[in-house]
Amino acid sequence: MHEVDMTKCLVLSMNEWRQQHEPSLPVVSQVHLQVGDFTCVEPEQLVHTWRIAIQNSWLAGAELKIEQIPLVARCVCCNSTYSPSADQAYQSPCCSHPMEDIVSGRELRIRSVDYSLNPELAPLSA
Ligand SMILES: [Zn+2]
């Protein structure tokens, strides 16, 4: 997946998240993202596109913090877990079985959001 498309998805997710807080306006300082090593995402590139995307938006100034999740697979022959590598064509080292069951490494999710609610921006309740 391309980082620009991914950033659009992130911003959309954040917009939905924001709607849950209406009518208060959350001020976001950090967005903690989990990115699996098997997603082919360049974290630095993602941070870069994120910064550009949020300029002049309600998210301006929010930092993207990326936690990388290692690729772990489970061997379907013997049920042991292993760290697949491209050098070994992602086969299991125990049984040389092709990678079928990925335990982790494909994550792309917002884990948490650091924010504060600015009461001055919230409209008075009727
Ligand atoms: Zn095995």
**Do 16 and 31 belong together in one domain?**
yes
Q: How far is the CA of 34 from the centre of ligand 1 (A)?
A: 28
**Do 47 and 79 belong together in one domain?**
no
Q: How far is the CA of 80 from the centre of ligand 1 (A)?
A: 6
Q: Are 117 and 27 in contact (CB under 8 A)?
A: yes
Cis omega (within 30 of 0) on the bond before 23?
A: yes
Phi (first) and psi of residue 101, to 5 degrees: -110, 105
Q: Are 7 and 110 in contact (CB under 8 A)?
A: no
Q: How far is the CA of 37 from the centre of ligand 1 (A)?
A: 22
Is 79 exposed, middle or buried (CB count within 10 Å of its CB: 0-12, 13-18, 19+)?
exposed
The structure's pTM equals 0.81
**Do 14 and 28 belong together in one domain?**
yes
Q: Encode pLDDT of 75-90 as tens digits.
A: 999 999 999 999 999 9
Q: How far is the CA of 84 from the centre of ligand 1 (A)?
A: 12
**Do 95 and 40 belong together in one domain?**
no
**Do 46 and 13 belong together in one domain?**
yes
**Do 44 and 17 belong together in one domain?**
yes
**Domain encompassing residue 31:** 1-70+105-126
Interhelix angle 3-19/43-54, nearest 10 degrees: 50
**Do 62 and 87 belong together in one domain?**
no
Q: How far is the CA of 22 from the centre of ligand 1 (A)?
A: 51
The percent of residues in the chain predicted with pLDDT above 90, rounded, is 83
**Do 64 and 77 belong together in one domain?**
no
**Do 3 and 23 belong together in one domain?**
yes
Question: Could you tell me the pLDDT band of residue 126, with boundaries at 50, 70 and 90?
Answer: very low
Q: How far is the CA of 123 from the centre of ligand 1 (A)?
A: 60
Question: Could you tell me the pLDDT band of residue 49, with boundaries at 50, 70 and 90?
Answer: very high
Q: How far is the CA of 17 from the centre of ligand 1 (A)?
A: 42
Structural domain count of the chain: 2
Q: How far is the CA of 78 from the centre of ligand 1 (A)?
A: 4
**Do 76 and 65 belong together in one domain?**
no
Q: How far is the CA of 32 from the centre of ligand 1 (A)?
A: 34
**Do 116 and 92 belong together in one domain?**
no
What DSSP state is assigned to residue 119? G
